[in-house]
A and B are shown apart, each in its own frame.
Chain A
Amino acid sequence: DTTVKQNPRYKLARVGKPVNLICSQTMNHDTMYWYQKKPNQAPKLLLFYYDKILNREADTFEKFQSSRPNNSFCSLYIGSAGLEYSAMYLCASSRRGGARDTQYFGPGTRLLVL
């Protein structure tokens, strides 16, 4: 099974409320990624876990948190959603990590913040 699953597929949130998005894979991949995709923009890497080590991009460091309780699951947490968080959130995983490894993407979670 080479699928990456994401829950929920659609999420409606109120401004100022927390949001928690879930991603899972059963391929025993070492690395899991979260991207943010807005219309007419490139997917933007937010953070990734290599094994248990979390790496967050500098410009999104304070906006997003994540946890990886085990190899299969990875969450993306927004403590207080703002309107600018409305986007598609894509999760991906790769066997080891590094640019040469194929990243397998999930179907995405579409988040709308009102």
Chain B
Amino acid sequence: GQQVKQSSPSLTVQEGGISILNCDYENDMFDYFAWYKKYPDNSPTLLISVRSNVDKREDGRLTVFLNKSGKHFSLHITASQPEDTAVYLCAAGNTGYQNFYFGKGTSLTVIP
């Protein structure tokens, strides 16, 4: 089965609003969580990551929230801008293993 799931294939947000992207994972041994941004025809770029010893990490307009008991993490983008429009991939893995598991992606559109 799919280890990491993004249930929303797409999301549309008004400029200036908050974009909330969600991700669920299956394996409660995962201890590393990341969000990647992918423009059309470009490879994924790491945006922000968090380890399981924290529940929240902020970096500018980006905040990752981790809910370990619910096996869920999310990415909040405040003051969303049209240039935030892209596909966002979540990924999770276990420290010591070499690979991540990726979600299918959520396509975010920020409209002016």
Contacts and interface: CB of A to CB of B under 8 A. Distances in A.
Contacts of B69: none
Given A40-B104, A42-B4, A107-B43, A98 B98 contact: yes
Given A40-B104, A41-B104, A42-B2, A99 B96 contact: yes
Contacts of A105: 43-45
A97 B98 contact: yes
A99 B31 contact: yes
B63 interface: no
Interface stretch (A11-19, A43-51, A68-76): A43-51
A25 interface: no
For chain B, what secondary structure do more than half of its interface residues adopt (helix, strand, loop), or is it mixed? loop
A63 B71 CA distance: 33
A41 B4 CA distance: 11
Instruction: Indicate the size class of the contact surface on chain B.
Output: 20 to 34
Interface residues of A, number: 23
Contacts of A67: none
B101 interface: yes
Interface stretch (B14-22, B54-62, B75-83, B87-95): B87-95
Interface in B64-112: 89, 92-105
Contacts of A98: 95-98
A29 B9 CA distance: 33
Report, nearest first, the 8 A-B pairs whose CB atoms are least far apart: A99-B93, A105-B43, A99-B32, A42-B102, A43-B102, A97-B98, A42-B104, A45-B99
